[in-house]
Protein backbone atom coordinates (compact mmCIF):
# COMPACT_ATOMS: atom_id res chain seq x y z
CA UNK A 1 0.00 0.00 0.00
CA UNK A 2 1.22 3.49 -0.84
CA UNK A 3 2.29 5.70 2.06
CA UNK A 4 4.59 8.69 2.61
CA UNK A 5 7.59 6.31 2.75
CA UNK A 6 6.84 5.24 -0.82
CA UNK A 7 9.59 6.31 -3.20
CA UNK A 8 8.24 7.59 -6.50
CA UNK A 9 10.39 7.57 -9.62
CA UNK A 10 9.31 10.15 -12.19
CA UNK A 11 10.45 9.97 -15.82
CA UNK A 12 9.77 13.06 -17.93
CA UNK A 13 9.62 16.57 -16.49
CA UNK A 14 8.27 18.66 -19.33
CA UNK A 15 5.51 21.27 -19.25
CA UNK A 16 3.15 19.02 -17.31
CA UNK A 17 5.39 16.37 -15.77
CA UNK A 18 7.43 18.90 -13.83
CA UNK A 19 4.36 20.31 -12.08
CA UNK A 20 2.98 16.85 -11.39
CA UNK A 21 6.25 15.75 -9.79
CA UNK A 22 6.45 19.00 -7.83
CA UNK A 23 2.98 18.44 -6.38
CA UNK A 24 4.04 14.97 -5.24
CA UNK A 25 7.06 16.52 -3.52
CA UNK A 26 4.86 19.08 -1.78
CA UNK A 27 2.62 16.24 -0.59
CA UNK A 28 5.60 14.71 1.19
CA UNK A 29 6.64 11.93 -1.17
CA UNK A 30 10.30 11.17 -1.84
CA UNK A 31 10.99 11.64 -5.54
CA UNK A 32 13.59 10.16 -7.83
CA UNK A 33 13.73 11.83 -11.22
CA UNK A 34 15.14 11.12 -14.65
CA UNK A 35 14.76 13.15 -17.81
CA UNK A 36 16.85 13.30 -20.97
CA UNK A 37 17.65 16.96 -20.42
CA UNK A 38 18.84 17.14 -16.81
CA UNK A 39 18.34 20.92 -16.63
CA UNK A 40 14.57 20.38 -16.84
CA UNK A 41 14.74 18.65 -13.46
CA UNK A 42 16.91 21.26 -11.73
CA UNK A 43 14.08 22.84 -9.74
CA UNK A 44 12.89 19.44 -8.53
CA UNK A 45 16.42 18.47 -7.49
CA UNK A 46 16.86 21.78 -5.64
CA UNK A 47 13.69 20.95 -3.73
CA UNK A 48 15.01 17.56 -2.67
CA UNK A 49 14.42 15.16 -5.56
CA UNK A 50 17.20 12.66 -6.18
CA UNK A 51 18.56 12.70 -9.73
CA UNK A 52 19.07 9.34 -11.42
CA UNK A 53 21.43 9.12 -14.37
CA UNK A 54 19.54 6.29 -16.13
CA UNK A 55 16.06 4.79 -16.35
CA UNK A 56 17.56 1.53 -15.10
CA UNK A 57 18.88 3.14 -11.92
CA UNK A 58 15.56 4.90 -11.29
CA UNK A 59 13.60 1.68 -11.76
CA UNK A 60 15.88 -0.22 -9.38
CA UNK A 61 15.40 2.29 -6.59
CA UNK A 62 11.69 3.21 -6.81
CA UNK A 63 8.48 1.68 -5.46
CA UNK A 64 6.20 3.49 -7.93
CA UNK A 65 7.39 4.63 -11.37
CA UNK A 66 5.48 7.32 -13.24
CA UNK A 67 6.26 8.10 -16.86
CA UNK A 68 5.14 11.27 -18.65
CA UNK A 69 7.02 11.46 -21.94
CA UNK A 70 6.31 12.61 -25.48
CA UNK A 71 5.55 9.83 -27.93
CA UNK A 72 4.71 6.11 -28.05
CA UNK A 73 8.25 5.49 -29.33
CA UNK A 74 9.58 7.11 -26.12
CA UNK A 75 7.31 4.88 -24.04
CA UNK A 76 8.57 1.79 -25.89
CA UNK A 77 12.17 2.83 -25.31
CA UNK A 78 11.92 3.42 -21.58
CA UNK A 79 9.76 0.39 -20.73
CA UNK A 80 11.35 -2.35 -22.80
CA UNK A 81 14.86 -3.66 -23.33
CA UNK A 82 17.54 -4.76 -20.89
CA UNK A 83 17.97 -1.24 -19.50
CA UNK A 84 14.25 -0.44 -19.46
CA UNK A 85 11.77 -0.12 -16.62
CA UNK A 86 10.20 -3.56 -16.80
CA UNK A 87 13.52 -5.40 -16.70
CA UNK A 88 14.71 -3.40 -13.71
CA UNK A 89 11.70 -2.54 -11.54
CA UNK A 90 11.30 -4.43 -8.27
CA UNK A 91 8.75 -7.24 -7.96
CA UNK A 92 5.55 -5.91 -6.46
CA UNK A 93 6.26 -2.36 -7.60
CA UNK A 94 3.89 -0.21 -9.64
CA UNK A 95 4.34 1.45 -13.02
CA UNK A 96 2.02 4.18 -14.29
CA UNK A 97 2.29 5.49 -17.84
CA UNK A 98 0.62 8.90 -17.93
CA UNK A 99 1.73 9.66 -21.48
CA UNK A 100 -1.02 9.81 -24.08
CA UNK A 101 -0.09 6.74 -26.09
CA UNK A 102 -1.50 3.79 -28.00
CA UNK A 103 -4.02 1.54 -26.25
CA UNK A 104 -2.25 -1.50 -27.71
CA UNK A 105 1.02 -0.35 -26.13
CA UNK A 106 -0.69 0.02 -22.75
CA UNK A 107 -1.87 -3.59 -23.03
CA UNK A 108 1.64 -4.71 -24.00
CA UNK A 109 3.14 -3.00 -20.94
CA UNK A 110 0.47 -4.48 -18.67
CA UNK A 111 1.02 -8.03 -19.93
CA UNK A 112 4.81 -7.83 -19.69
CA UNK A 113 4.61 -6.27 -16.24
CA UNK A 114 2.26 -8.98 -15.01
CA UNK A 115 4.77 -11.64 -16.05
CA UNK A 116 7.28 -9.99 -13.71
CA UNK A 117 4.87 -9.42 -10.81
CA UNK A 118 4.77 -5.68 -11.49
CA UNK A 119 1.46 -3.80 -11.40
CA UNK A 120 0.85 -1.57 -14.44
CA UNK A 121 -1.73 1.13 -15.09
CA UNK A 122 -2.22 3.42 -18.07
CA UNK A 123 -3.34 6.80 -16.77
CA UNK A 124 -3.26 9.63 -19.33
CA UNK A 125 -4.43 13.04 -18.17
CA UNK A 126 -6.27 16.12 -19.35
CA UNK A 127 -6.19 19.66 -18.02
CA UNK A 128 -3.03 21.12 -19.54
CA UNK A 129 -0.37 23.09 -17.72
CA UNK A 130 -2.94 24.79 -15.48
CA UNK A 131 -4.41 21.50 -14.31
CA UNK A 132 -0.93 20.07 -13.73
CA UNK A 133 0.14 23.09 -11.64
CA UNK A 134 -3.06 23.16 -9.60
CA UNK A 135 -3.31 19.40 -9.11
CA UNK A 136 -6.72 19.37 -10.78
CA UNK A 137 -6.08 17.06 -13.72
CA UNK A 138 -8.64 14.62 -15.05
CA UNK A 139 -6.96 11.20 -14.84
CA UNK A 140 -8.30 8.38 -17.02
CA UNK A 141 -7.12 4.97 -15.87
CA UNK A 142 -6.91 1.50 -17.32
CA UNK A 143 -5.85 -1.57 -15.33
CA UNK A 144 -6.77 -3.64 -12.31
CA UNK A 145 -9.02 -2.38 -9.52
CA UNK A 146 -6.60 -3.41 -6.77
CA UNK A 147 -3.69 -1.48 -8.31
CA UNK A 148 -5.95 1.54 -8.83
CA UNK A 149 -7.02 1.50 -5.18
CA UNK A 150 -3.42 1.18 -4.00
CA UNK A 151 -2.30 4.17 -6.04
CA UNK A 152 -5.33 6.39 -5.48
CA UNK A 153 -3.55 8.57 -2.86
CA UNK A 154 -0.90 9.43 -5.47
CA UNK A 155 -3.48 10.18 -8.15
CA UNK A 156 -5.37 12.41 -5.71
CA UNK A 157 -2.29 14.64 -5.38
CA UNK A 158 -2.15 15.21 -9.12
CA UNK A 159 -5.82 15.33 -10.06
CA UNK A 160 -9.45 15.66 -9.01
CA UNK A 161 -11.49 13.77 -11.59
CA UNK A 162 -9.98 10.29 -11.23
CA UNK A 163 -11.84 7.36 -12.80
CA UNK A 164 -10.89 3.75 -13.46
CA UNK A 165 -12.34 3.26 -16.93
CA UNK A 166 -11.71 -0.46 -17.34
CA UNK A 167 -8.98 -2.94 -18.14
CA UNK A 168 -5.51 -2.15 -19.49
CA UNK A 169 -5.79 0.24 -22.45
CA UNK A 170 -9.11 1.73 -21.32
CA UNK A 171 -7.40 4.83 -19.97
CA UNK A 172 -5.75 5.46 -23.32
CA UNK A 173 -8.98 4.92 -25.22
CA UNK A 174 -10.72 7.41 -22.91
CA UNK A 175 -8.00 9.99 -23.50
CA UNK A 176 -8.44 9.57 -27.25
CA UNK A 177 -12.16 10.26 -26.79
CA UNK A 178 -11.13 13.43 -24.96
CA UNK A 179 -8.82 14.50 -27.78
CA UNK A 180 -11.47 13.83 -30.43
CA UNK A 181 -13.87 16.11 -28.54
CA UNK A 182 -11.23 18.84 -28.22
CA UNK A 183 -10.17 18.61 -31.87
CA UNK A 184 -13.43 19.94 -33.33
CA UNK A 185 -13.97 22.26 -30.37
CA UNK A 186 -10.71 24.08 -31.07
CA UNK A 187 -11.87 24.72 -34.63
CA UNK A 188 -15.16 26.09 -33.31
CA UNK A 189 -13.47 28.41 -30.79
CA UNK A 190 -11.05 29.74 -33.40
CA UNK A 191 -13.82 30.31 -35.94
CA UNK A 192 -15.96 32.03 -33.33
CA UNK A 193 -13.23 34.50 -32.36
CA UNK A 194 -12.43 35.23 -36.01
CA UNK A 195 -16.14 35.82 -36.65
CA UNK A 196 -16.49 38.13 -33.64
CA UNK A 197 -13.57 40.23 -34.79
CA UNK A 198 -14.84 40.38 -38.38
CA UNK A 199 -18.24 41.51 -37.13
CA UNK A 200 -16.65 44.41 -35.27
CA UNK A 201 -17.43 43.03 -31.81
CA UNK A 202 -15.16 43.15 -28.78
CA UNK A 203 -14.15 39.48 -28.41
CA UNK A 204 -13.49 39.83 -24.66
CA UNK A 205 -17.08 40.92 -24.07
CA UNK A 206 -18.35 38.20 -26.38
CA UNK A 207 -16.51 35.59 -24.30
CA UNK A 208 -18.14 37.00 -21.15
CA UNK A 209 -21.52 36.33 -22.72
CA UNK A 210 -20.98 32.91 -24.24
CA UNK A 211 -18.50 31.19 -21.93
CA UNK A 212 -21.15 30.32 -19.33
CA UNK A 213 -23.89 29.26 -21.74
CA UNK A 214 -24.37 26.28 -24.02
CA UNK A 215 -21.07 27.05 -25.81
CA UNK A 216 -19.06 26.67 -22.60
CA UNK A 217 -15.93 24.53 -22.72
CA UNK A 218 -12.39 24.45 -21.34
CA UNK A 219 -11.10 25.62 -24.71
CA UNK A 220 -13.45 28.60 -24.69
CA UNK A 221 -12.87 29.68 -21.09
CA UNK A 222 -9.14 28.91 -20.74
CA UNK A 223 -7.61 29.00 -24.22
CA UNK A 224 -9.69 31.66 -25.98
CA UNK A 225 -8.41 34.39 -23.60
CA UNK A 226 -4.86 33.32 -24.46
CA UNK A 227 -5.73 33.66 -28.14
CA UNK A 228 -6.99 37.21 -27.57
CA UNK A 229 -3.79 38.12 -25.68
CA UNK A 230 -1.53 36.63 -28.36
CA UNK A 231 -0.27 34.22 -25.72
CA UNK A 232 0.78 31.12 -27.60
CA UNK A 233 3.05 29.60 -24.95
CA UNK A 234 2.47 25.85 -24.73
CA UNK A 235 0.15 24.57 -22.08
CA UNK A 236 0.03 21.67 -24.51
CA UNK A 237 2.30 21.52 -27.55
CA UNK A 238 0.85 21.45 -31.05
CA UNK A 239 3.31 18.68 -31.94
CA UNK A 240 1.92 16.53 -29.12
CA UNK A 241 -1.68 17.26 -30.10
CA UNK A 242 -0.86 16.14 -33.64
CA UNK A 243 0.57 12.94 -32.15
CA UNK A 244 -2.59 12.37 -30.10
CA UNK A 245 -4.93 13.04 -33.01
CA UNK A 246 -2.91 10.72 -35.25
CA UNK A 247 -3.22 7.91 -32.71
CA UNK A 248 -6.94 8.64 -32.35
CA UNK A 249 -7.47 8.59 -36.11
CA UNK A 250 -5.58 5.30 -36.45
CA UNK A 251 -7.61 3.80 -33.60
CA UNK A 252 -10.88 5.02 -35.13
CA UNK A 253 -10.00 3.38 -38.44
CA UNK A 254 -9.16 0.13 -36.61
CA UNK A 255 -12.63 0.31 -35.06
CA UNK A 256 -14.26 1.02 -38.44
CA UNK A 257 -15.37 4.50 -37.40
CA UNK A 258 -15.41 7.65 -39.54
CA UNK A 259 -14.21 10.81 -37.72
CA UNK A 260 -14.36 13.71 -40.22
CA UNK A 261 -14.05 16.41 -37.54
CA UNK A 262 -10.89 14.80 -36.21
CA UNK A 263 -9.45 14.55 -39.73
CA UNK A 264 -10.11 18.23 -40.42
CA UNK A 265 -8.54 19.32 -37.14
CA UNK A 266 -5.49 17.14 -37.72
CA UNK A 267 -4.97 18.60 -41.20
CA UNK A 268 -5.27 22.17 -39.88
CA UNK A 269 -2.79 21.55 -37.09
CA UNK A 270 -0.37 19.91 -39.51
CA UNK A 271 -0.60 23.00 -41.69
CA UNK A 272 0.12 25.14 -38.62
CA UNK A 273 3.11 22.99 -37.67
CA UNK A 274 4.51 23.33 -41.18
CA UNK A 275 4.44 27.10 -40.63
CA UNK A 276 6.81 26.68 -37.68
CA UNK A 277 4.26 26.51 -34.86
CA UNK A 278 4.81 22.93 -33.67
CA UNK A 279 6.23 24.11 -30.32
CA UNK A 280 3.41 26.61 -29.74
CA UNK A 281 0.36 25.86 -27.63
CA UNK A 282 -2.77 24.48 -29.28
CA UNK A 283 -4.44 27.90 -29.00
CA UNK A 284 -2.17 29.07 -31.84
CA UNK A 285 -4.77 27.59 -34.22
CA UNK A 286 -6.35 31.06 -34.25
CA UNK A 287 -3.43 32.20 -36.42
CA UNK A 288 -4.74 30.14 -39.33
CA UNK A 289 -8.20 31.67 -39.07
CA UNK A 290 -6.79 35.18 -38.85
CA UNK A 291 -4.84 34.38 -42.00
CA UNK A 292 -8.02 33.24 -43.75
CA UNK A 293 -9.99 36.31 -42.61
Q: How many CB atoms lie within 10 A of CB 189?
A: 25
Using an 8 Å Cβ cutoff, are 152 and 146 in contact? no
The three-state DSSP-derived secondary structure of 126-147 is ECHHHHHHHCCEEEEEECCHHH
The rounded distance, in Å, linking the Cα atoms of 284 and 172 is: 25
Q: What is the dihedral of CA 23, 42, 67, 26, to 10 degrees?
A: -10
Radius of gyration of the chain (CA): 20
Contacts 24+ apart (CB under 8 A), 265-269: 265/183, 265/184, 265/186, 265/187, 266/183, 266/242, 268/187, 269/238, 269/241, 269/242, 269/245
Q: Which residues are catalytic?
A: 175
Amino acid sequence: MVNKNTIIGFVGTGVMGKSMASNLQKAGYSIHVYTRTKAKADDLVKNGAEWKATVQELANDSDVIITMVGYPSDVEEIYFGSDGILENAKQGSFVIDMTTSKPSLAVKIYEKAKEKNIHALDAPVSGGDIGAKNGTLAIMIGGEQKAYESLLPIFQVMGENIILQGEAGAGQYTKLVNQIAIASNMIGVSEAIAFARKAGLKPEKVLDSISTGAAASYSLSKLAPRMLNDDFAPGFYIKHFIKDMTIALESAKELGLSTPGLELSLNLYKELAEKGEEDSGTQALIKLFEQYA
